Amino acid sequence: MSIIKKDIPAEYRVLIQKLRLIDDTFFNVCFDNYTEGMQLLLRIFLDRDDLVVRRVVTQQSADNLYGRGVRFDVLAEDSEGKLYDCEVQRANEGAAARRARYNSSMMDSRALAKGAEFAALPETWVIFITENDIYQEGCPLYHVERIVQETQRPFDDGAHILYVNGANRDDTPLGRLMQDFFCERPEQMNYAELAKRTDYFKAEAEGVNAMCELMEKFGEKKLEEGRAEGRLEGRLEGHREGMLDMARSLLKLNVPLEVIEKSSGLTRAEILAL
């Protein structure tokens, strides 16, 4: 029987209890390989009781040889081969239209085998669960579909974008689901599938220990990033001091200010201040 580690910092214990599904780290942890939970979400989002999820992975990276890559929060595949990228976004900027477009394109880039026909490209969904009503129209869902403008008919390319309004908490299946996404305590959740999973990572020893290990790794990563940033700042400061010393020497030799500006990269005001 697993026991919760005794050396877990108190702040970790407090933070774990405050995490919610709308927080991306907790969202990723809870839905990793959790087909039952993702099936619940997609059935409610798409209003399809027959939808069956057969595979779920989190934090999958898609590299791009020619530009920026992307890391998906949760990737799911259903029994029909359709693909779903499900993301939680607390800041409106994170759910920008062009980010949705980019995620959709990166899903396509990894979904079609070399030499395969374009007809084999699977149907895809990019789903943003947003903390705020980013379109401020009061709709629980915002469906984004391409159309042929002149005919007003669907373009039917198989790519879909869906915004789920997290601010909607009405007494509907979707509203109750969003209540659960913003709930800290499992016993107050509406859906048993989510309550059970949340309780595992907040109360059961194995789940709590896993969360703490994840937080420790995250803390170490941030610490290393801070060290790297400090080293970079140190190099930049050292470079600046070198340029200042050079400018002082050139001033003593009565070198024209224009020449010193070009040589050192300093502004005229900085040189005159010497």
Residue-wise pLDDT for 102-138, tens only, equals 999 988 888 888 888 888 899 999 999 999 999 999 9
Quote the pLDDT of residue 66: 55
Is 223 a domain residue?
no
Q: Are residues 90 and 177 in the same domain?
A: yes
Which of 143, 39, 24 is CA-nearest to residue 72? 24
Backbone angles phi, psi at 77, to 5 degrees: -130, 135
Please indicate, yes or no, if residue 3 is contained in any of the structural domains: no
* pLDDT surpasses 80 at 140: yes
Look at 106-120, 168-182, 186-200 and tell me which has the smallest mean pLDDT.
106-120
Query: Does some domain include residue 210?
Result: no
CA distances (Å), origin 212, targets 4, 96, 196: 10, 32, 19
pLDDT tens-place string over residues 13-68:
778 888 999 998 899 999 999 999 999 999 999 999 999 999 999 876 666 555 56
Task: Give 79-110 pLDDT, tens digit per residue.
Answer: 999 999 999 998 888 899 999 999 999 888 88
**Residue 201 backbone dihedrals phi, psi, to 5 degrees:** -85, -10
pLDDT confidence band for 258 (50 / 70 / 90): low
pLDDT(231) > 80: no
- Do 172 and 261 reside in the same domain of the chain? no
Residues 77 and 136 in one domain: yes
Same-domain status, 249 and 129: no
Q: Domains in the chain: how many in total?
A: 2
Whole-number pLDDT of residue 126 = 96
Q: Report the alpha-carbon angle 149-44-95, nearest 5.
A: 55
Beta bridge partners of 129: 88, 164
- CA–CA distances in Å: residue 200 to residues 37, 186, 194, 239: 13, 9, 10, 52
Would 108 be classed as within a structural domain?
Answer: yes
Residue 224 lies in a domain: no
Show the beta-strand stretches assigned E in the chain.
53-62, 70-78, 83-89, 124-130, 141-144, 147-148, 153-154, 159-165
Q: Is residue 113 part of a domain?
A: yes
- On whether the CB atoms of residues 76 and 27 are closer than 8 A, the answer is no
The answer to whether position 234 is within a domain reads yes
C-alpha span between 38 and 84 (Å, rounded):
10
Is residue 221 situated within a structural domain? no
First to last CA, the chain: 70
| Percent of the chain surpassing pLDDT 70 | 75
Q: Which range marks the domain in which residue 78 is found?
A: 10-203
Do 241 and 183 sit in the same domain of this protein?
no
Whole-angstrom distance, CA of residue 181 vs CA of residue 169: 10
Which amino acid is residue 224, in one-letter code?
Answer: E
Q: What percent of the chain has a predicted confidence (pLDDT) above 90?
A: 51
Q: What burial class does residue 14 get, using C-beta atoms within 10 Å of its C-beta: 0-12 exposed, 13-18 middle, 19+ buried?
A: exposed
127/260 same-domain check: no
The chain-wide mean pLDDT, for the chain, equals 83
Distances (CA, A) of 202 to 87, 193, 197, 260: 22, 15, 9, 62
Burial of 142 per CB tally in 10 Å (0-12, 13-18, 19+): middle
Question: What is the predicted pLDDT for the residue at 12?
Answer: 72
- Top pLDDT among 51 and 73 is at 51
**Is residue 234 pLDDT above 60, yes or no?**
no
pLDDT of residue 239: 54
Where among 203, 221, 247 does a domain terminate? 203
234 and 150 share one domain? no
